[in-house]
Structure 1
Amino acid sequence: MMRPHGSRYPTLQELPSQEPTVILRRIFKVFPHHALMFVRTAIASAMFAIVSSASAAEAIELNPGTTTYDHHPSLCATEGGTTWIAWHSYNAGSDGVTVRRLDSSGQVGQLHSIGGDADAHGPPTIVACSEDRAWVVWSMKRGQRWEIVLRHWKSGEWSLRVPVSVSKRDAIDPAAIRFGDRLLLASCERIEGCFTVRGYGVYDGSWLPFSISNGIDNAYRPLLIQHHDEVWAFWDQYHNPNYSVCGRRLLPTLGNIEQVTPPSKYCLTPTALSHPTGLHIAWLQKKDVIGGPGVVSQWHTLHAAVRRDNRWQSIRDANGRTTAAELTQGLMAQITPTPIATGGYLGSRLRPMLHASGDQVWLLWERKSDHLGSTPNVAGDLVGRPINNGTWQSPLVLHRGYVDYHVVPTESSEQDSITVVASKLPRLAKRTYEQFDVKLAEAQPFEQDTWAGWNPVTLPIDSELTPRREVTIDGKTYKLFWADLHCHNNLSADAEGESDELNHYARDRAGLDVVVFTNNDFYNVPLTQYEYEIGNLFAKAHSVDGEFISLPGFEWTSRIPGVATAALNDPGNWLPPYRNRSYANHRSVIYPPTGGPLVHFTEVENDIAKLNKAVAAAGGVTLSQHPTFKLSGHAVEVGLELTSGWSNYIAQNPKLFHESLDQGVRTNGVRLGFVANGDSHRRAPGLSGALTGIYAETLTPAAIFDALRQRRCFATSGSQIFIDARADESFMGEEVSAKNRQITLNLHAIGTRDITSAVLVRDGEEIYKIALEGRREVRVEYIDENMAPGTHWYYWRVSQDKTAPALPGNLMAAHGHLAWSSPHWIVAE
């Protein structure tokens, strides 16, 4: 391979990871102490330059007239005042990496598209050392692997794309820091089943890898920072049941791994800042809580620490409290005295930021301005809380009206403003970013209501877990597995929660056996190829046959017109304010581990036939969603979602669900099973008030798909209620011939609380109801005689004690009181 033009970087050599001390000693010989001091000085002056240049100008639009969906900006600056900007771009099924310069006068330079061919490109990190020299590092997927790649701008030209990581391992989330004219990199790599933070440095013409994290606990989201003559790496890592933030000095000598955050706390997503008063680090901390009639959520707070006297000291307020911010408004529901839900937000509500202004260090975060604001139309607040003499001061609202705020990093500055980059509210699937100054003197008082009624809870809740139950069907034994097949994380534009984190949550806190994260293909903005593929990587990484299954998929978020003359592909159907009386026709798309294509409804003229064809070719299935839908009748449609964390859909619109079963009878078409899934946008997969019970011979993807296709499944409103429904010994979901037009229907149910009633529904009519008191386990039999000729469908609805009330928004009680068997189809001869 030719060495890239204008680059001192090596060709790829797959070298074994060596001892960190050995590698860093080699690198350190190339970058002695005075080089570190040079870089520190250069970075400080460069950051000062960008603040100075930006403060003299009005808001500068960074991507005017963009034809792509732009997101995840990365910024850096040079001594001469030039700002380099890189971001992730997406258009029509393809990712890109885009770079441009902003000179010291505010003149926006030309766009450079540098991604090149790949199946997906991740968000870039840009590092610059001059007006005409910069490096961009990102992750990309080619074939079945993710790798870290780099391009170098020098003398007006981009180098060829240089691979950095070892090609046989998945590598994502790169971080970078420069020494003189070279780089030290870190990334998150999957090695022998464990996500590990590794570093890369150049020695003798080769990228040399070295381990940073312990290689035992899964480690994510690395960052690198220089503090005086030291270089540190930080990351978060998971050791059941908690995440913790860890750090390690890399240079000038390798230090031990240190846990920065308090023990037994759930802490992740660190950010760091070098300041004359010490090396500062901030993080997000979470606590599981329960409120109202059993709604499970998470309480989010921000915290920070500073390194002094060779140890980490928590920043506290005047009363000794370490909590800097309670992230409640616009993120979690108010539960008392009246439940008040909140919706989505197109910024980032869980990302701490640090900024230096003179002697002060500021912790900054973003919140939704209006707790009740609708997702497409609600902007955000940039909130800050300064630290003086190691103590938290009063928080202030620094800016309003944008979303996705990013602070231009500085080491220290005497300026009275903060330079930020933020997005206007997305419109027509585009984000416009602007760079502008926030004047600290114009800050407003910070106000926030008290969120009462939430109490700590330890998950999983042991009293809600049940032993593994089994049934025997035609001589075969099938085990009962619990699934949530319609979940969201922060790869959905309006939801929160890291992909790795919520897989761990589903397995270890909710006690699920199967989970699927079905992020929206398009909801105000598109799901990019990177977001889809990275979600699938984490699904694959967390799946272990026989232990836990996480499957790839997405949500087809189509809206179709209710006006007969309206065009199906009219964007007015799916862009606010939703014309043509359009209504949701969503599907949960679930693929086997081999995956399948991301089919945006916006890119295939809103034609569900094209979705069905792609899903069938990949061996996948789809499930309906919500209380509105229009079935296509295709064989990939295998289930109806009866209830979710939003509402009891079949109670809300029983006619639609019953007509859907009738449609299959009339056309001799597809038979559909019953499922229930949380549709959680509030970070609680498996604990959002809806579960699907699945009977499978083994906990493998193939067995789960077989069960869904054969309708060996049932729905509950979140409790692990056991349901075994038979018709003349045939299991639920099956078609049965009733000779003499008579059928015996049996129900065996075991509740997590006392069962109160069982109702048998035939062709939409409740034909039998029995009240049951004081028993968790019940057996009920009903004989239907003198049936009318033809095909009939039957299902059972079971209720247990402690009726869960309907609450607004995505707020169903985690462990509800209802269960529904999948239908039987009985042919009366």
Structure 2
Amino acid sequence: MAHKGILLSLDAPVRATVTVRTNRGDASFVLSEAQPGRRLSRTGGQIWIERTAWSEVITDDTREDDFPSMAAAPDGSVWVVWLSHGRRADEIRVRRHDGQVWSSVMKAVDEPGDYHSPQVAVAGDGRVWVIWGANENGNWNLLARSYADGVWSDSERLTRSAFPDINPRVTTDKQGRIWLVWQGFRQGNSDIYLRYLENNVWSDIIRVTDDPANDWEPSVATDAEGNAYVAWDTYRNGNYDVYMRKCSKGELGPEIPLAISANFEAHASVACDSQGRVWVAWNEGGPNWGKDYPGGIGSGIYDVRRLRVVCYDGEDLARPAGTLRTRLFSQVSGGRDLPYLTVDSADRPWLFFRHKQSRRYELPDGRITSQAVWGVYATHYDGQTWAAPTFMPNSYGHNDQRLSVCFTRWGEMWVAYAGDGRTYRSPEPFNNEVYVGRVRVPPGPPVEHVFAELEPDRDPKALPQRRPPPQKEPYEISLGEKTYKLLWGDLHRHTDISWDGPNDGSLQDMYRYAIDAADLDFVATTDHGAGQGREYPWWRTQKCADMYEVRGFFTPLFGYERSVRYPFGHRNVIQPVRGIHPVTVFKDVHGLKGLAPDDTERLWAALVPSQNVVIPHTSATNMGTNWSSHNPELERLVEIHQGARNSYECEGGPKAIAEGTPDAVAQGYAPSGFVWNALGKGYRMGFVSSSDHGSTHLGFAAVFAESRSRQAIFEALKKRRTYAASDFIILDMRMGKHFMGEEFETSSLPALSVRAKGVHSLLRVDVIKNSSVIYTKKGDGKQMEFEFMDAQPTSGPSYYYVRVIQDDPNYRDKMQ
């Protein structure tokens, strides 16, 4: 649903009549008629009126303010904490509303730093606790600090692991204890952990999960008896499923599976009502999330997003009888994401969520953009039906913005959320602010709920729990006295930060994909200009790369895409260290539509000091290059294939873009950009494959590195110890003692030795020399090993590589 109207803020008696005059007729209504969750239709349905929440901004527009958390104190005051970014550093800021006015801004942390996910909770004695993630010497830990009687305590460290502790969530029970849950990596595996604060003393750490698969993004709620319920999602069954566990008096109960279908089920939110029932909401996507897509068995990262809600009574699961999907689909069709669940004093569950809307825009400089915005909506269940969703004003923003809800001692519902200033009709400007809204809660006694049984294909009791086999097998080589591991990565992944990334998902979901669905060893987020040149998305991208670095196991790299049309070319820039700003496109009013004719040469000059790795892609299209400019020290690799589109190796090659095809119509056709033309010019570039927009699990950069450290992977990229793969195909190619990517001089050409192992049966291996196939060996099974001697060696420079073709069902019609 797209808002194509106006928002009115009115201060008038409830019996006042409002008249709106439009080119579709006039519409009048009495203010008291407009109630949350109810639409008023006028002029035959051409105009409708709905009551939104009242909201106000509590931040200023000089900084980027995001990720709020909110809590109510016993004295009726409301506390809000949020992340505030400016000048390449974060602050944790706090304000208090005493029932009449807001306090001035306080800082919960004395010095600016690298912070994330601040949370606030108020203990039973009124002491306010702020908990946040902090990057300390490259590792993320959780810290806490309390406030009472106008004085902040010293900071207290809550985690001390050498691996990241992230995604904290908090709540306070009716006994005044604060419960904290978070996601922590240990030895390459992510689990869920818990601590609680009682009498101002933190408990020991309780490990909620210990499965060898990764567990993600916990949520916590407490019942009237002080029992805590922790919900999370896990990859133990080869896709994301939702589980829950009860903690009573420090003791954990059994795990309770809530959603274990083949669908994507993640981002759980949990709440308890006065009857001791536990309500859980989560996102649901398609089956085989993040697997071969498009055209294969998988679902894309943001292919489908629905919402599910269940209720657990201590023994059984049920769903609300009123159909949530039907209610939402009629008014907010499209992606519905990141549920936040709470329950009011009448036991009505309230469901807040983010709704995706996409639209194409023409910017003032003539560029076309197709950005998406996500707005916050709220609905509630009255025991029989779900209310019409209510829009939260000024809530449009990026995909993974989070919100927080609290109830005051008088039963008022307060909501804190962020918006970045965009609207459905205007893609710019961006500036994130924190808003606080109040949602009217209908009065009345506790409602009587009507439930229904779970659908058979959603009932955990009727579905198996299976642990999937490994996706890839380890492989390593010895060169001289060194050992190199075969690592798998993706150097071209987008998120919703890109102007054309509405279906690429959030930064968090990108890392879920890389770590679990694709089982990568390294990844680079390469959004356009790291956010079209804006500081805040660049900072978030770089920060997340540090947050998700699990040293020795998984390594994010720093990078961005620099997008300049043919003949200059789209290039991904991979950076050796954090903190290097993207190089923007150079403009010249006398050049081609404002682009400086020497843009590429100026790019080389800007990148040389930091020694980046530059990777051109889609080279034989309107996004490509004619190879007129090249820097051999920077442009060490080329993306010869990508899962989203085609191969750009050579005309007529396997999966190559071809003139007159739908792909060529969509991308443009520029045959001078085929990679063989660059190699023919003497350019020495290694090969990688990548994903690009929308695609998953069909493009990999295979790298032989000494370790999984950033330095080792970057060195392997620089030395071209790489190959491009559409699957986990193992390839070991050498010439004598020289390995792939090396260049050498010789008076006696050694034999070419090849070892290959496919995921599917191998059809053939082609040996290419100087833009010609000089030998082909037919396959017989999944493995092949052979030596080849060039019977007609030529003087002067020559290059050799091999092309391995397997019987891949995704590409059978394109691998002739």
Bin of the TM-score, shorter chain as denominator length: 0.5 to 0.7
Preserved contact between residue 173 and residue 222 of structure 1 (Cα < 8 Å): yes
Separation in structure 2 between the aligned mates of residue 315 and residue 534 of structure 1, nearest angstrom: 36
Aligned to 2:232: 236
- 1:676 and 2:689 matched: yes
Cα pair 1:80 1:130 within 8 Å, conserved: no
2:268 maps to 1:274: no
Question: Could you report, residue by residue, the CA deviation over 1:390-448 in whole angstroms, capped at 9, with x for unpaired residues?
Answer: x665875756874247665256999999856341327455223444467899xxxxxxx
Aligned partners of 1:94, 1:398: CA distance in 2, in Å? 32
> Could you say which residue in structure 2 is the equivalent of 1:13?
none
Query: Which residue of 2 is the match for residue 733 of structure 1?
Result: 741
Contact 1:88–1:96 (8 Å) recurs in 2: yes
Assess, with a 3 A threshold, how the Cα gap between structure 1 residues 551 and 99 changes in structure 2: closer, same or farther.
same
SS at match of 1:587: strand
> What does residue range 691-730 of structure 1 map to in structure 2 within 5 Å?
691-694=700-703, 707-716=716-725, 718-721=726-729
State the Cα deviation string for residues 250-288 of structure 1 (Å, max 9, x = none). 456745243251456664322122334533121234531
After superposition, the C-alpha distances for 1:779-814 in whole angstroms (9 at most, x for unaligned) are 897968695x7535455556566796xxxxxxxx7x
Q: Is the contact made by 2:637 and 2:687 (CA closer than 8 Å) also made in structure 1? A: yes
1:118, 1:142 within 8 Å by CA — same for their partners in 2?
Answer: no
Identity %: 18
In the TM superposition, what is the alpha-carbon distance from 1:677 to its structure 2 partner? 1.6
The residue aligned with 2:40 is: none
Partner residue of 2:546?
Answer: 536
Deviation at 1:551, TM superposition (A): 1.7
Change (3 A) 1:715 1:214: closer
Amino acid of the structure 1 residue aligned with 2:686: G
- When the two chains are superposed, the root-mean-square deviation of aligned CA atoms in Å is 5.6
State the alpha-carbon separation in 1 of the partners of residues 110 and 775 from structure 2: 64
Deviation at 1:356, TM superposition (A): 4.3
Deviation of 1:98 after TM superposition, in Å, equals: 1.9
Amino acid at match of 1:279: V
Q: Deviations over 1:692-737 (max 9, x none)?
A: 3445688888876665444333213x13456566678965433354
Q: What's the CA shift string for 1:368-397, capped at 9, x where partnerless?
A: 2237788764334545564343x6658757
Q: Are residues 786 and 250 of structure 1, via their aligned partners in 2, closer, same or farther at CA, if it must alter by over 3 Å?
A: closer
The residue that corresponds to 2:31 in the other structure is: none
**2:431 — aligned with what?**
430
Contact 1:399/1:438 (8 A) holds in 2? no
Equivalence for 1:587: 573
Q: Which residue of 1 aligns with 2:396?
A: 403
Deviation at 1:361, TM superposition (A): 2.3
Using the alignment, how far apart are the partners of 1:695 and 1:523 within structure 2? Answer: 31
The alignment status of 1:484 with 2:506, answered yes or no, reads no
Closer/same/farther in 2, CA of residues 147 and 421 from structure 1, 3 Å limit: closer
Structure 1 residue matching 2:546: 3-state secondary structure: helix
For the structure 1 residues 355 and 559, does the alpha-carbon distance in structure 2 shift closer, same or farther, using more than 3 Å as the test? Answer: farther
Pairing partner for 2:111 from 84, 94, 117: 117
Taking the aligned partners of 2:482 and 2:144, their CA distance within structure 1 comes to: 54
Trace 1:255-266 onto structure 2 (pairs within 5 A): 256-263=253-260
User: What code does the residue aligned with 2:646 have?
Assistant: N
- Cα deviation, 1:300-320, whole Å, max 9, x if unaligned, reads 543222232x22423154799
Residue 449 of structure 1 corresponds to which residue in structure 2? Answer: none
Q: Which residue of 2 aligns with 1:515?
A: 522
Partner of 1:453: none
For residue 288 of structure 1, what is the aligned residue in structure 2? 288
Cα 1:292–1:97 change in 2 (3 A) is closer
Verify the 8 A CA contact 1:460 1:509 in the aligned structure 2: no
Given residue 211 of structure 1, which amino acid in structure 2 is its aligned partner?
I
Displacement of 1:625 = 4.7
Compared with structure 1, are the counterparts of its residues 356 and 528 closer, same or farther at alpha carbon in structure 2 (3 Å cutoff)? farther
CA contact (8 A) 2:233 2:268 kept: no
Aligned residue in 2 for 1:307? 312
Give ranges in structure 2 of 5+ residues lacking alignment: 1-35, 37-50, 362-367, 443-462, 587-598, 649-656, 658-668
Letter in 1 for 2:522: V
Distance in 2 of aligned mates of 1:210 and 1:775: 51
C-alpha distance 158-388 of structure 1, shift in aligned 2 (>3 A): same
Deviation at 1:587, TM superposition (A): 1.3
Please say if residues 190 and 215 of structure 2, whose CA atoms lie closer than 8 Å, have aligned partners that are also in contact.
Answer: yes
Asked whether the equivalents of residues 121 and 530 of structure 1 are also in contact (C-alpha less than 8 Å), the reply is no
Distance 2:440 2:201 in 1: 46
Taking structure 1 as reference, are residues 746 and 540 closer, same or farther at Cα in structure 2, changes over 3 Å only?
Answer: closer
CA distance in 1, matches of 2:245, 2:804: 55
After TM superposition, the structure 1 = structure 2 runs for residues 266-665 of structure 1, keeping only pairs within 5 Å, are 267-276=265-274, 278-286=277-285, 287-288=287-288, 293-294=295-296, 296-297=298-299, 300-308=305-313, 310-317=314-321, 349-354=337-342, 356=344, 360-370=348-358, 377-380=371-374, 382=376, 386-389=380-383, 393=386, 396=389, 398=391, 402-404=395-397, 409-410=405-406, 421-423=417-419, 424-425=421-422, 427=428, 429-436=430-437, 482-487=488-493, 506=514, 509-510=517-518, 512=519, 514-518=521-525, 520=527, 522-524=530-532, 526-527=536-537, 532-540=542-550, 543-544=552-553, 550-558=554-562, 584-589=570-575, 596-601=577-582, 623-625=615-617, 627-628=623-624, 633=631, 635=633, 637-648=635-646, 650=648, 651=657, 653=670, 655-656=672-673, 658=675, 661=678, 665=682
2:135 alignment partner AA: K
SS of the counterpart of 2:549?
Answer: helix
Cα distance in 1 for residues equivalent to 2:181 and 2:132: 11
CA contact (8 A) 2:769 2:798 kept: no
How far off is 1:60 after superposition? 1.7
- Distance in 1 of aligned mates of 2:163 and 2:731: 43
Secondary structure of 1:655's aligned partner: helix
Describe how 1:21-40 pairs up with structure 2 within 5 A: none
Tell me the amino acid that sits aligned with residue 396 of structure 2: V
Give the whole-Å Cα distance in 1 for the aligned partners of 2:133 and 2:272: 26
Give the whole-Å Cα distance in 2 for the aligned partners of 1:187 and 1:468.
31
2:4 is aligned to none
User: In the alignment, which of 84, 89, 93 is matched to residue 88 of structure 2?
Assistant: 93
Counterpart residue type for residue 357 of structure 2: S
After superposition, give the CA deviation of every residue in 1:173-212 in whole Å (9 maximum; x if it has no partner). 3333346777444444456665454444456764332415
3-state SS of paired residue (1:150) = strand
Deviations 1:350-378 (A, max 9, x none): 44544649564243422322377887643
Cα deviation 1:79-99 (Å, max 9, x = unaligned): 777543321122232122122
The correspondence of residues 117-156 of structure 1 with structure 2, limited to 5 A, is 117=111, 119-128=113-122, 134-156=128-150
Tell me how far apart the structure 2 counterparts of residues 275 and 73 of structure 1 sit (CA, whole Å).
Answer: 24
State the alpha-carbon separation in 2 of the partners of residues 392 and 90 from structure 1: 41
Is the contact made by 1:272 and 1:354 (CA closer than 8 Å) also made in structure 2? Answer: yes
Give deviations 1:135-192, integer Å, cap 9, x for gaps. Answer: 3221212224433223334444544434344477754333333467774444444566
Superposition deviation, residue 750 in structure 1: 6.6
| Distance (whole Å) between structure 1 residues aligned to residue 803 and residue 722 of structure 2 | 14
Distance 1:698 1:141 in 2: 23
Displacement after TM superposition at 1:639 (Å): 1.7
Cα separation, partners in 2 of 1:750 and 1:159, compared to 1, 3 Å = closer
Cα–Cα, structure 1 residues 519 and 817, in superposed 2: closer, same or farther, change >3 Å?
same
**Structure 2 CA distance, aligned partners of 1:711 and 1:535?**
23
Note if contact 1:86-1:125 (Cα within 8 Å) is conserved in structure 2.
yes
Listed one character per residue, the Cα deviations across residues 210-268 of structure 1 (whole Å, up to 9, x for unaligned) are: 41514455544343323223241414253353555444444567452432514566643
SS in 2 for 1:536: helix
Structure 1: how far apart are the matches of 2:54 and 2:708? 59
Assess, with a 3 A threshold, how the Cα gap between structure 1 residues 276 and 376 changes in structure 2: closer, same or farther.
farther
Q: For the residues of structure 1 that align with 2:185 and 2:265, how far apart are their CA atoms?
A: 21
Q: Cα gap change, 1:738/1:141 in structure 2, threshold over 3 Å: closer, same or farther?
A: closer
SS at 1:523 equivalent: helix
Report the Cα distance in structure 2 between the residues aligned to 1:786 and 1:114, rounded to whole angstroms: 70
Change (3 A) 1:316 1:275: closer
